[in-house]
Amino acid sequence: MKIAVFGSNARAVAIGKLLVDAGYHVCFGDSAGASQAEAAARQAGGVADTPYNDAALCEMLIFAGSRAELDDLLTAAGCISPNAVVVDAMEGTDGDGTDLLVHKLNTHRVIRALIVAPQVNANIPYCGDDADAMTLFEEVFRTAGCLTAYRGPLAKAAEITLPGVAETGEASFNAVKSANTVRT
């Protein structure tokens, strides 16, 4: 299965590495340009590609960058395959973000997932409306060694966003990563 990760920050790289380690073919794309995607791919063991190719060829698209960059990324991606499962794992508060993504893409194959600490044994709460999309999401992340927890339809997506997370969300991921490093 081909999975695209859109984003190049530390959390996006960790998500990609988790999936590469589980045996998935992972491509990275970034609206900031090819150099960011190439750097993220090198760190995670994946490959870099254009958001356009990723959107057309991958079966799962994971938006893991900043929610503020969504419009630029969607413009770079162009037409997204109607069969692709779209995972909204973007940083920052959700608010109406996932609903907006559903409307912009004109698809119900969207999952909102709170992937704070992308690592084996992580608990990933998620919301979704499409049964097939949810099954594929669960299969991918359980194969990667994560626990998934269904929290209801997309209408409840705002409930699985951590309160008080900064707009970038980066501090949250780095705090979890640091805490795990100290414990080991």
The CATH number of the domain where 61 resides is what? 3.40.50.720
| 122-143 CB burial, b ≥16 within 10 A, e <16 | bebbbbbebeebbebbbebbee
Structural domain for 44, as ranges: 2-183
Total number of domains in the chain: 1
pTM given for the model: 0.85
Task: State the Rg of the chain over Cα.
Answer: 15
Name the least confident of 4-18, 49-63, 95-109, 143-157: 95-109
**The length of the chain, given as a count of residues:** 184
* Band of pLDDT at residue 93, cut at 50, 70 and 90: low
What does the pLDDT look like over 18-46, one tens digit per residue?
A: 999 999 999 999 888 889 999 999 999 99
